């Protein structure tokens, strides 16, 4: 495969990791990045499925906590790789092999997700996470060797990530309650490492490439929600659930997910990525965008379980299983992806009202159709506001 960074030069074993041009034209996601995304979505699917079972069995608190912890590991490893690749992707053999190691790590993590939910055993999840993170450490050391200007920042990344991985391994020895506190401390440390490393010299990432990578992962996560809902519908048909109830879940779920896609891509994200000051909150805020989008599939599956009388919860809980992640998606999308574009009072009011209305739907007898209706209205308001802005600029 030709390497776009080197003007079509044939694949080589090793290239100097001197840094990519942040103004490089036609920078797009590579096949290797797409394959990596597919490995990550395997882990996302495992986390969503485990959340679904925890909610249906009436263990909402522990299920949501486990989901938040596992999803953090997947999201953080994916995000760190994405920004590194935007700045230093050489696409040589050594680079590919290290990314393959990272893919192996995420698959190990995925295999450990059910055990983490059922037995509170995070050993396999931690092993997979550490494998991914140490592969990134080796990549940062390559960058430090090949890119003199970015050497100090790269070494800070390598040191910070390594120290935190020691903490994750040590956390396994803690009892369950202390383990949760340890997770909070170590997660905060993970978030601080890039801030500390970038203080000396910001990494030269590519705005359009980053925006595309986040957009592609959003599509993959939404697709996983559709898959989870489809599997749940198939299961409902096998259990001979009332057809009208299944159709309500199916059509409402499709509308909700399609509207989420529409709202996310209503604004060009790359225009927001002008500096680290703007990129950090945008990138970090996507934890809630991604995790809530994946959780909606679990919520739709819970709705099918409720209709088949297999869920250990009432109508309110079944409705909340969809309403809460949709509301989180809207709130996080508004904060990191819509508000920075200064959309105006109409869109602001629509989003705030939409979040309130979505959270109110579990108190009604038709939560999913009502959520779908709210999402359609938000899409229509967004389109109208965008059209007005375009006319004003013309």
Domains of the chain: 30-198 (no CATH), 207-393 (1.20.1410)
Instruction: Provide the greatest CA pair distance for the chain.
Output: 66
CA angle 139, 172, 79 (to 5 degrees): 35
* Core vs surface per residue 289-320: b (16+ CB within 10 A) or e: bbbbbbbbbbbbbbbbbbbbeebebeeebbbb
Helix 31-56 with 207-238: angle, nearest 10 deg: 40
Query: What whole-number distance in Å separates Cα of residue 164 and Cα of residue 379?
Result: 42
| Sign for the pseudo-dihedral over CA of 281, 79, 115, 168 | negative
Residue 1 has a pLDDT of 35
Residue 140 CA, chain-centre distance (Å), reads 23
Residue 391 has a pLDDT of 44
Residue 387 has a pLDDT of 53
Tokens for 316, please give them: 């309110």
Query: What whole-number distance in Å separates Cα of residue 372 and Cα of residue 375?
Result: 5
Residue 267 has a pLDDT of 82
Query: What whole-number distance in Å separates Cα of residue 127 and Cα of residue 111?
Result: 11
Give the pLDDT of the chain (394 residues) as one tens digit per residue.
334 444 444 568 878 888 788 888 888 899 999 999 999 999 999 999 999 999 999 999 999 999 999 999 999 999 999 999 999 999 999 999 999 999 999 999 999 999 999 888 999 999 999 999 999 999 999 999 988 888 999 999 999 999 999 999 999 999 888 999 999 999 999 999 999 999 888 898 999 999 999 999 999 999 989 988 888 888 877 777 777 888 889 899 999 999 999 999 988 888 888 888 889 999 999 999 999 999 999 999 999 888 888 888 999 999 999 999 999 999 999 999 888 888 888 899 999 999 999 999 999 999 999 999 999 999 998 776 555 544 444 4
Tell me the backbone φ, ψ of residue 9, rounded to 5 degrees: -60, 145
Residue 154 has a pLDDT of 95
Instruction: Indicate yes or no: pTM above 0.85.
Output: yes
């Amino acid at each position: 495969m030709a390497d776009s960074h080197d003007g079509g030069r044939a694949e080589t074993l090793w290239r100097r990791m001197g840094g990519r041009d942040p103004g490089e034209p036609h920078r797009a996601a590579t096949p290797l990045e797409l394959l990596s995304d597919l490995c990550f979505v395997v882990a996302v699917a495992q986390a969503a499925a485990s959340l679904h079972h925890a909610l249906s069995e009436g263990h909402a608190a522990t299920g949501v906590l486990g989901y938040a912890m596992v999803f953090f590991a997947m999201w953080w490893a994916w995000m760190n790789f994405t920004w590194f690749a935007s700045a230093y992707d050489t696409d040589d053999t050594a680079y590919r092999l290290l990314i393959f190691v990272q893919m192996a790590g995420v698959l190990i993590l995925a295999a450990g997700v059910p055990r983490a939910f059922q037995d509170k055993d995070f050993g396999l999840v931690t092993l997979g996470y550490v494998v991914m993170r140490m592969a990134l450490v080796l990549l940062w050391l390559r960058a430090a060797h090949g890119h003199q200007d970015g050497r100090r920042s790269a070494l800070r990344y390598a040191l910070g990530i390594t120290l935190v991985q020691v903490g994750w391994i040590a956390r396994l020895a803690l009892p369950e309650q202390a383990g949760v506190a340890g997770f909070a401390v170590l997660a905060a440390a993970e978030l601080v490492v890039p801030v500390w490393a970038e203080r000396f010299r910001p990494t030269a990432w590519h705005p359009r490439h980053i925006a595309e990578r986040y957009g592609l992962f959003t599509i993959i996560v939404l697709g996983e929600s559709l898959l989870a809902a489809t599997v749940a519908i198939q299961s409902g048909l096998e259990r001979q659930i009332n057809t009208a109830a299944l159709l309500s879940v199916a059509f409402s779920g499709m509308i909700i997910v399609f509207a989420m896609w529409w709202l996310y891509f209503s604004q060009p994200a790359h225009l927001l990525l002008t500096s680290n000051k703007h990129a950090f909150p945008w990138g970090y805020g996507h934890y809630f965008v991604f995790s809530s989008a994946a959780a909606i599939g679990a919520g739709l599956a819970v709705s099918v379980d409720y209709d088949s009388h297999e869920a250990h919860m009432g109508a309110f809980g079944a409705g909340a299983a969809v309403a809460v992640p949709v509301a989180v998606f809207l709130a996080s999308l508004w904060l990191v992806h819509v508000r920075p574009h200064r959309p105006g009072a109409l869109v602001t009011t629509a989003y705030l009202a939409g979040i309130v209305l979505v959270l109110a739907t579990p108190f009604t007898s038709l939560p999913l159709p009502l959520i779908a209706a709210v999402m359609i209205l938000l899409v229509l308001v967004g389109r109208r506001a965008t059209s007005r802005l375009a006319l004003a600029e013309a």
